[in-house]
Structure 1
């Protein structure tokens, strides 16, 4: 599944904060902005637009092209808005955004934030070789040893084993600011998200996930980018967390 990232590198609009202003759906040219605005207007005809959580539901519909996907999104927190508030605040606090794989990292917007963005994959090679666990699971455990996930926006868009490893880390005391997890597939994907929700709820970690087999890197990146968008709206006084 993919997100619309047309013209993501066009333009040079800078904010007073020293970073490029968030560009909705990656659009910066006038033509691209018209397309982006029209696209989201159509999504808002299909998904209500009343809460912060609704913005995540809208982004899920746009990212998947499926109006029914709004009913598959799940939130862990005191209310559905809590993970969005936590994620936006983490963006404002310039906390790290940590993805499971390169594709998710590539989809994270470079505009609207000064958060360092890094991927887990590529770490933990020795652990994977020694134990036989997947490289993504080992990479999550390796970064967790370094304390990378505490206070971070943790994003899993592809690997169920990364979500399961992250759930183990949370159970052992790690506390991300928020988790966005949409691993995709027929083996362990739905189960990994279910376990993550259960562990996160038990330990008070806000999460944004989905149910079912669907998901993927584009969806995870799109939902994370919406947290950046909310943070941008907070700076501009449009949203009050």
Structure 2
């Protein structure tokens, strides 16, 4: 068996992003920063170039996200997998905090009583605790949580940015399409069925790096 040369982590990341940019260019895609940084990071995390076509970023969404992070905004996640993947040291260094309420007993009880999902109820609970105003809302799994975030915007709550990239088959496409109609709050989404925890985490970690002018091509 022949083994390839093992490279240092930094070199692997550098070569990976170089290859991503080369393939995007060959395919005719031309993105400019800061949106390019988000899209490249998504592709790096998923090895899926479909995201070059499906990623949608509303005007000034990246700037809104980085400004909020620099102000120490809360980051509210629909599931704990996303919370675990986000660089907590970078969040705390900026004065922020990560939140996810999906596993809380109170949320389970309220969701059952309301006939709702725990993910959606967790987002509403965060709003009731005053955590959604000026926050980053990060939905990578549950379309119901994204619909709830949109509903709360309709009620007058203003997160700094909604990252809506749920994955799946039921109401996934519809929830993302609904997000693209939102004009009161900036948003980032990936149209279609694809998305998930790796995409959501990639977007937030890219924003965290952009917030402090760190190279997005580095991997924590």
Please give the TM-score of this superposition, normalised by the length of structure 2.
0.85
Q: Is 1:116 the counterpart of 2:97 in the alignment?
A: yes
**Alpha-carbon displacement from aligned partner over 1:168-205 (angstroms, at most 9, x marks no partner):** 0011011111111110001001111111221x22x2x0
Q: Per-residue deviation at 1:49?
A: 5.3
Contact 1:91–1:113 (CA under 8 A) maintained in structure 2 = yes
Question: Helix, strand or coil for the counterpart of 2:99?
Answer: strand
CA distance in 2, matches of 1:75, 1:142: 27
C-alpha contact 2:91 2:98 (8 A) present in aligned 1: no
Distance 1:222 1:133, change over 3 A: same
SS of corresponding position for 2:19 = helix
1:35 equivalenced with 2:12 (yes/no): yes
CA–CA separation in structure 1 for the residues paired with 2:179 and 2:71: 24
Q: Which moved more, 1:62-71 or 1:148-157?
A: 62-71
Aligned-residue offset at 1:75: 1.6
- Cα distance between partner residues in 1 of 2:155 and 2:15: 45
Distance 2:123 2:62 in 1: 23
In structure 2, the residue matched to 1:224 is: 204
Over aligned residues, Cα RMSD in angstroms? 1.7
TM-score, normalization by structure 1: 0.78
Equivalent position to 2:125, from 139, 142, 145: 142
Once the two structures are TM-superposed, the CA of residue 126 in structure 1 deviates from its matched residue by 2.6
Query: Any gaps of 5 or more consecutive residues in structure 1?
Result: 1-29, 237-241
1:71 and 2:84 equivalent? no
User: What's the counterpart of residue 8 of structure 1?
Assistant: none
Equivalent residue for 2:143? Answer: 160
Q: From the superposition, tell whether residues 111 and 40 of structure 1 become closer, same or farther in structure 2 (CA, over 3 Å).
A: farther
5+ residue gaps, structure 2, are 1-6, 25-29, 216-220
In structure 2, C-alpha distance between the alignment counterparts of 1:110 and 1:138, rounded to whole Å: 24
1:21 paired residue number = none
Residue of structure 1 equivalent to 2:27: none
Corresponding position of 1:178? 161
Q: How many residues align?
A: 199
Question: Contact 1:88/1:231 (CA < 8 Å) preserved in 2?
Answer: yes
